[in-house]
Structure 1
Amino acid sequence: MKLFSNTIGSIENALNYSSLKQKVISENIANVDTPNYKAKDVSFKKILEDVQGSRLEGYRTDPRHFSFSSGSVNPAVVTQSNAQYNENGNSVDIDKEMSDLATNQIYFDSLVSQLNSKFSILQSVIKGGR
């Protein structure tokens, strides 16, 4: 039985994404002074494909139109290899990572708030509105 038309499942998937992003950002911050360390990021596209179970494809009215689906499988965590911020080969931008960390925390807090409201509604229904 799907409660709230699977909203709780969607929030769970979003929390999993936020948790993975938090881990990757923390690894980047921990390795800010490591020589030749390449910053990593989370690929939202790959996670979305995994959740949906299939690839998104655009509707094409002409065979000459570009296809939106890709045949390659990208990992959820990708390494940014084309950037270098320090002379030691490290590509971690600490200001960007701290900004991403704050943004991810706000996103996580909003998801937890939504989940709490869903459980609060369910608890109210179980108690009979009391």
Structure 2
Amino acid sequence: MLDRLDKEFAFGREALDVRAYRQELLSSNIANADTPGYKARDVEFSSALAGALKQNGTASNSSTLKMAQPVSLSSSASLAVTSQGHMSGTSTLATSGGSTDDYGKLAYRVPSQPSLDGNTVDLDAERVQFADNALHFEAGMTVLSSQIKSMLSAITSNS
């Protein structure tokens, strides 16, 4: 039963994973705007998502996606206890999804205005892409949240 529910959210999680990775790349571009020789990098969302879905052999919600696996607990490290009031434990959070290699190859932006130091970051373009990606991420979160609310409503209904 839970695996069926999990499959319903797999596409949305996959899309959010790609959006989050793209946001990371765009913020890296903005942070390195003054670094000589830095090449602005990006990933095209639609092709990255399609590639990830195709690589996993699923073009729909028919099976669990590799990169959309939930976070799991692993016991790879132990915690140091320095006071009797501290809780002891050996569990740490570790992601169990796929690697970002599944998003496809990174593309380098073609600069609209070349600079003398070899940096290809156009701050105005990066900020626009950053804001656009953030807006799409929020929209994806809204859709996923409404799916969860619909499922909870269906589960808790008395009919």
Contact persistence 1:38–1:90 (CA under 8 A): yes
Contact persistence 2:23–2:133 (CA under 8 A): yes
Separation of aligned partners in 1, 2:150 and 2:158: 9
Which residue number corresponds to residue 86 of structure 2? none
Question: Normalising to structure 2: TM-score of the pair?
Answer: 0.60
Which residue number corresponds to residue 20 of structure 1? 21
1:10-64: per-residue Cα shift (whole Å, max 9, x none)? Answer: 111110110110000011000000001111011442442232226xxxxxxxxxx
Contact persistence 1:85–1:93 (CA under 8 A): no
Separation of aligned partners in 2, 1:50 and 1:37: 27
1:82-101 to 2 correspondence within 5 Å? 82-83=110-111, 85-101=114-130
1:128 and 2:129 correspond: no
Separation of aligned partners in 2, 1:15 and 1:109: 9
Question: Normalising to structure 1: TM-score of the pair?
Answer: 0.72
Q: Aligned to 2:52, which of 50, 70, 80?
A: 50
Contact persistence 1:14–1:111 (CA under 8 A): yes
Q: What percent of counterpart residues are identical?
A: 29
Separation of aligned partners in 1, 2:137 and 2:48: 19
| Residue 129 of structure 1, CA deviation | 5.7
Computed over aligned residues only, the root mean square deviation of the Cα atoms, in angstroms, reads 2.4
1:74-127: per-residue Cα shift (whole Å, max 9, x none)? Answer: 9432223x5363221110000000000110011000000001101101111121
Unaligned runs of 5+ in 2: 58-102
Which residue number corresponds to residue 31 of structure 2? 30
Unaligned runs of 5+ in 1: 55-73
- For these two proteins, the number of residue pairs brought into alignment is 109
Separation of aligned partners in 1, 2:135 and 2:158: 31
Contact persistence 1:43–1:76 (CA under 8 A): no
Q: Which amino acid is the alignment partner of residue 27 of structure 2? A: S
